């Protein structure tokens, strides 16, 4: 009887210690981002950007990659750097799969940790500048986001 209890407790402990699933990351997105960007990522332009097939343009520069983490809702979210990395990479692949560059590299934990600590003074102006600088069409790439 005791060994059954121990086995059940061990299984439960392992389940909670395991890396987050997509469902867990989606829950974090809904909790920390979805209030403004909405569950489907459409936001409320122009103040709250639409995530859907728009963020891939920001991946063309390190400043754009940093911006994804520096916006107030991300940089100030009460989550670890590792968890924020999971959330940002999830939203990139979930809402931008069709437009991700063929050479897309997910953000790293170190990249997120460093960018997160740099204060973004004017998110709207910065986003506009970064998107103008990218001059890359929003659409492109093969279905699924990779060529």
| Three-state SS annotation for the chain | CHHHHHHHHHHHHHHHHCCCCHHHHHHHHHHHCHHHHCCCCCCECCCECCCCCCHHHHHHCHHHHHHHHHCHHHHCCCCCHHHHHHHHHHHHHHHCCCCCCCCCCCCCHHHHHHHHCCCCCCHHHHHHHHHHHHCCCCCCCCHHHCC
**Res. 14 pLDDT band, cuts 50 70 90:** very low
Which sequence spans correspond to the domains of the chain?
20-136
- In this prediction the pTM is 0.75
- CATH code assigned to 20-136: 1.10.760.10
Residue 43: per-residue pLDDT: 92
Residue 3: per-residue pLDDT: 59
């Amino acid at each position: 009887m005791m060994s059954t209890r121990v086995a059940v407790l061990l299984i439960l402990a392992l389940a909670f210690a395991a890396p987050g699933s997509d469902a867990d990351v989606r829950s974090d997105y809904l909790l920390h981002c979805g209030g403004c960007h909405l569950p489907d990522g459409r936001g409320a332009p122009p103040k709250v950007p639409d995530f859907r097939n728009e963020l891939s343009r920001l991946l063309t520069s390190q400043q754009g990659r940093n911006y994804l983490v520096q916006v107030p809702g991300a940089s100030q979210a009460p989550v670890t750097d590792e968890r924020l990395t999971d959330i940002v990479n999830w939203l990139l692949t979930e809402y931008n799969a069709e437009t991700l560059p063929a050479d897309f590299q997910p953000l790293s934990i170190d990249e997120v940790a460093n960018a997160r600590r740099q204060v973004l003074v004017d998110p709207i102006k910065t986003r506009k500048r970064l998107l103008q600088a990218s001059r890359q069409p929003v659409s492109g790439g093969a279905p699924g986001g990779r060529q």
